[in-house]
């Protein structure tokens, strides 16, 4: 499923709070807001926060939200995991994300850093491109891909305005969820990105 989020307000919020974040030892990034938006949306759509055991014929819905974040390294993409994203404030998520990504790029991530994810987010925006179809990180049942945001003309109340739009792609296992559920889940993520105060 493909969608786009208008992140004009979110981008402005990040820019306004860069210095305040640095004063607290963190550099705010879009990815931390993505993680919080996904964690909140998973609370409403728990079948995306699950793993499927085809041999046993069981779907295991997780009661915790441990989000994998794809990190580009010299050894390829590696997916470390931030635990309990739904229970942590955004600044703590950003702090952990920065430390975990640095450890991963330096080849210092532990096995515990790389295990136990319930859903994965891959943000290729810094690398370029207009979109991608990410592959599900088995045994998870879904993954969110994010491409580079860009300014585009948008019609609002009959007037053309420039807005910052972020392309999103959601890949999911149709044995677990169908297209309508995928659309609703993606919309829940978009809604939160477009109303970023909910994520703070």
Tens-place pLDDT, residues 2-55: 999 999 999 999 999 988 888 888 999 999 999 999 999 999 999 999 998 888
Tell me, what's the pLDDT at 125? 79
pTM for this model (two decimals): 0.94
| Cis-peptide, bond into residue 139, ω within 30° of zero | yes
174 in catalytic set: yes
Instruction: State how far Cα 187 lies from the chain centre.
Output: 13
Tell me, what's the pLDDT at 55? 87
Which tens digits make up the pLDDT trace of 132-185? 899 999 999 999 999 999 999 999 999 999 999 999 999 999 999 999 999 999
Partners of residue 156 on adjacent β-strands: 159
Active-site option among 45, 47, 66, 174 = 174
What beta strand segments (E) does the chain contain? 2-6, 50-53, 58-61, 67-69, 71-73, 76-78, 81-82, 119-123, 142-146, 150-156, 159-172
Tell me, what's the pLDDT at 82? 98
Q: What is the DSSP letter of 135?
A: P
């Amino acid at each position: 499923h493909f969608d786009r989020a208008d992140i004009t307000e979110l981008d402005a919020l990040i820019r306004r709070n860069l210095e305040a974040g640095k004063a607290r030892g963190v550099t705010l990034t879009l990815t931390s807001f993505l993680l919080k938006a996904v964690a909140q949306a998973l609370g409403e759509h728990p079948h995306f926060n699950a793993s499927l055991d085809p041999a046993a014929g069981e779907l295991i819905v997780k009661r915790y939200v441990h989000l994998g974040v794809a990190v580009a390294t010299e050894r390829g993409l590696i997916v470390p995991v931030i635990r309990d994203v739904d229970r942590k404030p955004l600044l703590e998520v950003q702090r952990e994300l920065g430390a975990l990504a640095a450890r991963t790029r330096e080849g210092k991530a532990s096995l515990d850093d790389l295990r136990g994810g319930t859903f994965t987010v891959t943000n290729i925006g810094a690398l370029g491109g207009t979109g991608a179809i990410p592959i599900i990180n088995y045994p998870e049942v879904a993954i969110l891909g994010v491409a580079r945001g860009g300014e585009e003309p948008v019609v609002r109340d009959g007037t053309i305005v420039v807005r910052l739009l972020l392309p999103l792609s959601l890949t999911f296992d149709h044995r677990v969820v169908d297209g309508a559920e995928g659309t609703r889940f993606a919309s829940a993520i978009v809604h939160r990105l477009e109303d970023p105060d909910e994520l703070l």
